[in-house]
Amino acid sequence: EKIKVFCPATIANISCGFDVLGVALDAVGDEMVVRKVDKKGISITKVVGQELPLETEKNVAGVAGLEFLKASDYSGGFEIEIYKKIKPGSGIGSSAASSTGAVWGMNHLLGNPFSKTELVTFAMEGERLASDVAHADNVAPALFGDFTLVRSYTPLDIVPIKAPSELYATVIHPQIEIKTSDSRKILKTTLSMETAIKQWGNVGGLIAGLLQNDYELIGRSLEDHIVEPIRSILIPGFDIVKNASLQAGALGAGISGSGPSIFAFSKGLEIAQKVAIAMAEVYDKIGIEYDVHVSKI
């Protein structure tokens, strides 16, 4: 018995929501085949598209799968094939796609014994392997779809939020690799009350904008006073790309996950495509290779 799983890419943080906000992309993702077998344990039998380890303990899908098995009374195992389209280190949740695809497929094949929130806790162990920290802001939207807010980590409390119907994301990936673990190390560990006030004002504004379909409010709330000023230094042309996207009509823009991808939200497909062209022109001028895509949220 087997299942083919689509594992969506995700934009984490969404500017102001470091480690708590994320959104799944409809059009970008990996594929995975999960097969139920008698042999105990998890075997990664194939990885196509990227060089990734096949050893279960070194592969994020393997680690997430082992967590699932630990919590389950199922005595058999699973084989996993990964068809990777998301580049690792690109900032759109490559490890989260693999971790969640594995546990979602396994859960499905056993008749869904676990809730989505329980699956998030298993997949978070894959994130721990990939980035040293078990953050849930990519795995939660990959499992729930649309936007998610991690209201609390202990206990884990995931709040799903439906995306407004005309919201599109443009994501450009300059072809450099940034490891999440590295880009976490450079962050400050303390912040001023003044900065915190600005940040939670924006988090609240963004959630309200999403729930009220208020695109202008969504745009105004896409600000990050904590992480973006530090991490953007690692991304060539960040400010120019961001400004170009706003000039082209985007509601707002920021770093996708831990970068180097840059995302912009737009109202409607037409603007999102114009934003893609404007962002691409910047990297054409600077002479940096990139991938760019537009996705409905």
Catalytic residues, by residue number, are 127, 180
Residue with the closest Cβ to ligand HSE?
257
Helix or strand run (H / E) with residue 296:
strand 290-296
Among the residue ranges 102-110, 135-143, 209-217, 268-276, the one whose residues contact ligand HSE (CB under 6 A): 135-143
Residue number with CB closer to ligand HSE (166 or 223)? 223
> Minimum CB separation from ligand HSE for residue 130, in Å?
9
Closest CA relative to residue 282, chosen from 241, 246, 239: 241
CB 119 within 8 A of CB 103: yes
- Each residue 230-269 as x (binds ligand HSE by CB under 6 A) or -, in order, gives ---------------------------xx-----------
126 scored as a contact of ligand HSE (CB under 6 A)? no
| Out of 90, 98, 138, 232, the residue judged to bind ligand HSE by CB under 6 A | 138
Dist. CA 176–CA 44, nearest whole Å: 27
> Minimum CB separation from ligand HSE for residue 138, in Å?
5
CB 2 within 8 A of CB 36: yes
Residue number with CB closer to ligand HSE (99 or 138)? 138
Buried b (16+ CB within 10 A) or exposed e, 128-144: bbbbeebbbbbbbbbbb
Q: What is the CA radius of gyration of the chain?
A: 19
Looking at residues 62 to 121 of the shown chain, list those that interact with ligand HSE (rule: CB under 6 A): 93
Residue 68 region, left (φ>0) first, then alpha (ψ -120 to 50), else beta? Answer: alpha
- Each residue 4-43 as x (binds ligand HSE by CB under 6 A) or -, in order, gives --------xx----xx------------------------
> Minimum CB separation from ligand HSE for residue 108, in Å?
25
| Out of 67, 125, 137, 228, the residue judged to bind ligand HSE by CB under 6 A | 137
> Minimum CB separation from ligand HSE for residue 69, in Å?
25
DSSP string, 178-218: --HHHHHHTS-S---HHHHHHHHHHHHHHHHHHHTT-HHHH
CB 30 within 8 A of CB 46: no
Looking at residues 180 to 199 of the shown chain, list those that interact with ligand HSE (rule: CB under 6 A): 180, 184
**Residues forming the site for ligand HSE (CB under 6 A):** 12-13, 18-19, 93, 135, 137-138, 180, 184, 257-258
